Amino acid sequence: MFETLTAPAPDKIIELIGKFAADPRSDKVDLGIGVYKDADGNTPVLRAVKAAEQRLWQEQTTKTYLDVTGDRTFVSGMAGLIFGDAVPAERIGGAQTPGGTGAVRQLLELVRRARPGAKVWMSDPTWPNHPAIVKYLGLMVATHRYYDAAAGAVDFDGMIADLKGAARGDVVILHGCCHNPTGANLSHAQWAAVTDLLEDSGVVPLVDLAYQGFGDGVDEDVAGLRHLAGRLPEVMVAASCSKNLGLYRDRVGAAFVVCPDAAAAAIAQGNLGALNRLNFSFPPDHGAKVVSIILHDPALKAEWLSELEDMRTNMLTLRKALAEALRRESNSDRFDYIAVHRGMFTQLGGTVEKVTALREDHGIYMVGAGRINIAGLPADGMEKLAKAILAVGI
């Protein structure tokens, strides 16, 4: 049977982890996969997570199954964190998923159930797993312009012009904040304009929210999403706790569907539960329970929010330091956009050859067209890094 299989095309982000690990150079720099690192290059378990895990260990008396849509206290806690009071709770159907990718996958499966062959729009560029999952599910991929590389900013006119080509029944994947890979984000006015467009066209947004709290703040990062959800009859949200709670390998995420009314939300939630059952049955509990404990305990929540704020401000400091180093070394302002971008990434805009030269000649690892993980920037090695970036001609 399996002789019919061929080797899958490597996932570029995952492939880079292996290449970095195999590189013997001691001064190599990992700016690849989006994982937060502290000044020592470690990705520690957050204090709030450790405390919640300890409490869970002491208090948990059973590991029997919960609901097929997961731990309902986790789902409601996440809904509060994301939507605030923008939408009445009864209009939101939600289910726990294995990570944010699991949420994207389950929501796209829901789209396929509702509308087989639907067209799914996404920014060019976007996280490579978006088009991969859409194609795998037999849905259609359409792209809209998003990034003006020369300006280092959102090409909003291009985005709107392209999205005018989307029709009722189509879906558009929007990045809730901290656009991956570019780091260039929509302003509040631009979110409002996108909301108007989607309201007129009936195109349903799927907001991928993988970095809440890494951009401008935990509430600021969902202001656009809340505006959208407060206005449109239908909105999907795929949320991840990998980055903002550092729970990467525990696979903690949630899929939400905002519906016109409570009856529709119950049906959407039932379908998410049925899709969970078909794909993996009950979602993994441990990490979601930890998040639930944190979100429902004011002291632990405050501790987590302060740790999250530290991660956010550390990344901002590193961003500014790289922008300044590149300004000095290039004697130009052409990299100033790095300090304006927000979140975990910025796209430097190199060709494959230049990115390969950085890796091979300088031991600097970045994804695709020069996407860098800001958290991986070396605080005490910015000049060297800036010189290498310029040396390969970026």
Show which residues are catalytic: 127, 208, 210, 243
Please give the Cα distance from 104 to 253 (Å, whole number): 9
In the complex, what is the shortest distance from the CB of residue 368 to ligand LMR, in angstroms, rounded to a whole number? 10
Phi, psi of 70 (to 5 degrees): 95, -165
What string marks each residue from 94 to 133 as x (binds ligand LMR by CB under 6 A) or -? ---------------------------------x------
Does the protein bind ligand LMR through residue 13 (CB under 6 A)? yes
In the complex, what is the shortest distance from the CB of residue 125 to ligand LMR, in angstroms, rounded to a whole number? 11
Phi, psi of 298 (to 5 degrees): -55, -40
Side chain identity, residue 119: K
Answer whether 98's CB lies under 8 Å from 283's CB: yes
In the complex, what is the shortest distance from the CB of residue 28 to ligand LMR, in angstroms, rounded to a whole number? 18
In the complex, what is the shortest distance from the CB of residue 33 to ligand LMR, in angstroms, rounded to a whole number? 4
In the complex, what is the shortest distance from the CB of residue 190 to ligand LMR, in angstroms, rounded to a whole number? 23
Does the protein bind ligand LMR through residue 256 (CB under 6 A)? no
- Residue position matching structure tokens 């299989």: 5
Q: Which residues contact 367 (CB under 8 A, 6 or more apart)?
A: 12, 13, 16, 31, 32, 33, 181
Q: Which of 186, 210, 184 has the alpha carbon at shortest distance from 33?
A: 210
Site for ligand LMR in 264-293 (CB under 6 A): none
Query: Which of 17, 23, 28, 33 is the binder for ligand LMR (CB under 6 A)?
Result: 33
Q: Which of 219, 212, 209, 220 has the alpha carbon at shortest distance from 104?
A: 209
Nearer to ligand LMR, 13 or 274 (CB): 13
In the complex, what is the shortest distance from the CB of residue 210 to ligand LMR, in angstroms, rounded to a whole number? 6
Nearer to ligand LMR, 156 or 248 (CB): 248
- Output b/e per residue, 365-383; b: 16+ Cβ within 10 A: bbbebbbbbbbbbbeeebe
Q: Which residues pair with 204 in a beta bridge?
A: 171
Nearer to ligand LMR, 46 or 178 (CB): 178
Nearer to ligand LMR, 35 or 390 (CB): 35
Phi, psi of 116 (to 5 degrees): -55, 140
What string marks each residue from 204 to 233 as x (binds ligand LMR by CB under 6 A) or -? ------x-----------------------
Please give the Cα distance from 137 to 117 (Å, whole number): 9
Does the protein bind ligand LMR through residue 180 (CB under 6 A)? yes
Nearer to ligand LMR, 34 or 205 (CB): 34
Side chain identity, residue 341: H
Does the protein bind ligand LMR through residue 17 (CB under 6 A)? no
Taking the CA of residue 186 as centre, how many other CA atoms within 13 Å lie in the half-sphere pointing to its CB? Answer: 27
Residue nearest to ligand LMR (CB): 34
Query: Which of 20, 29, 34, 222 is the binder for ligand LMR (CB under 6 A)?
Result: 34
For the beta carbon of residue 209, count every other beta carbon within 10 angstroms: 26
Site size toward ligand LMR (CB under 6 A) is: 6
Please give the Cα distance from 93 to 79 (Å, whole number): 9
Nearer to ligand LMR, 33 or 339 (CB): 33
Question: What Cα–Cα distance (Å) separates residue 234 from each residue in 73, 123, 169, 190, 261?
Answer: 23, 20, 11, 19, 10
Does the protein bind ligand LMR through residue 83 (CB under 6 A)? no
Nearer to ligand LMR, 102 or 224 (CB): 102
In the complex, what is the shortest distance from the CB of residue 111 to ligand LMR, in angstroms, rounded to a whole number? 21
Question: What Cα–Cα distance (Å) separates residue 285 from each residue in 160, 242, 318, 379?
Answer: 40, 14, 35, 37
In the complex, what is the shortest distance from the CB of residue 97 to ligand LMR, in angstroms, rounded to a whole number? 14
Nearer to ligand LMR, 253 or 378 (CB): 253
Q: Can you give the binding site for ligand LMR, defined by CB under 6 A?
A: 13, 33-34, 127, 180, 210
